[in-house]
Structure 1
Amino acid sequence: MIQRFETKARMSRAVIHNGTVYLCGQVAADADADISEQTRTTLAKIDALLESVGSDRTRLLSATIYVKTMDDFAAMNAVWDAWVPEGHAPARACVQAAMARDALLVEITVTAAV
């Protein structure tokens, strides 16, 4: 069985299949903020979405992080490292990418066990 949450014409915010939740990419609540604050609010949105489907950050399986510029890599990682529970780091990739809106500095998507 596949469960879709907050489904629109283009995408669902979360999809659960076989005990795994796949989140759509999450971006900052305030695109005018610096990379640290954008990362913090993006991770807060991930926390809320995971909780809404019965999961949390201790159950992360993988993460893909898109940053607008690698100049922000260290600052983004400082926030990320503080957010990931010790011993629960997911498999992760981080790439530089063009963003959907110019003000966005980071987008993160995760997969987690439910």
Structure 2
Amino acid sequence: MKIERFDCTGRMSRVVKYGDMLFLSGVTAGQAGESVEEQTKAVLARIEELLEQHGSDKEHILSTTIYLKDISDFAGMNSVWDPWVAKGNEPARACVEAALAAPSIKVEMSVTAAVKD
């Protein structure tokens, strides 16, 4: 099967497609907001955009890894995640505390999804 790489930066690809699978690199909020809730909303909106651009949607997410700068933001992140996630299609998920690439980043998510039929 062919491997397709999109939005390559010389260091990484933002999206990789292999067969009917999509792999999204860590998605952050950019300059969107200071609170974990604001950043989570921006991250999830960006994930939806990337999935749509590559033939998928949130109902086809298989797994998500969530990285929080501070695990005490777990409830705040979930206050945005829970109403967003596709009921009946909840992905496998892990959430960990991690030192992220920039001090302003409070949440980062990486996603594996299936391409829609």
For normalisation by structure 1, the TM-score amounts to: 0.96
Query: Within 1, Cα distance between the matches of 2:92 and 2:29?
Result: 22
Match of 1:95 in 2: 96
Query: Within 1, Cα distance between the matches of 2:16 and 2:48?
Result: 15
- Letter in structure 2 aligned against 1:10: R
- Letter in structure 1 aligned against 2:5: R
- Letter in structure 2 aligned against 1:7: C
Match of 1:7 in 2: 8
Aligned Cα root-mean-square deviation (Å): 1.0
**Counterpart mapping for 1:73-84 below 5 A:** 73-84=74-85
- The question of whether the paired residues in 1 share the 8 Å contact of 2:5 and 2:16 is answered with yes
Question: Paired residues, what number?
Answer: 114
How far apart are residue 33 of structure 1 and its match?
A: 1.7
Query: Within 2, Cα distance between the matches of 1:31 and 1:43?
Result: 12
How far apart are residue 50 of structure 1 and its match?
A: 0.5
How far apart are residue 108 of structure 1 and its match?
A: 0.4
Gaps of 5+ in 2: none
Query: Within 2, Cα distance between the matches of 1:44 and 1:31?
Result: 11
Does the alignment pair 1:70 with 2:71?
A: yes
- The question of whether the paired residues in 2 share the 8 Å contact of 1:38 and 1:106 is answered with yes
- Letter in structure 1 aligned against 2:67: Y
How far apart are residue 96 of structure 1 and its match?
A: 0.2
Query: Within 1, Cα distance between the matches of 2:59 and 2:32?
Result: 27
Query: Within 1, Cα distance between the matches of 2:19 and 2:50?
Result: 18
Gaps of 5+ in 1: none
How far apart are residue 11 of structure 1 and its match?
A: 0.6
Q: Which runs of 4+ in 1 moved over 4 A?
A: none
Match of 2:113 in 1: 112
Match of 2:21 in 1: 20
Match of 2:45 in 1: 44
- The question of whether the paired residues in 2 share the 8 Å contact of 1:4 and 1:14 is answered with yes
Aligned-partner SS, 2:51: helix
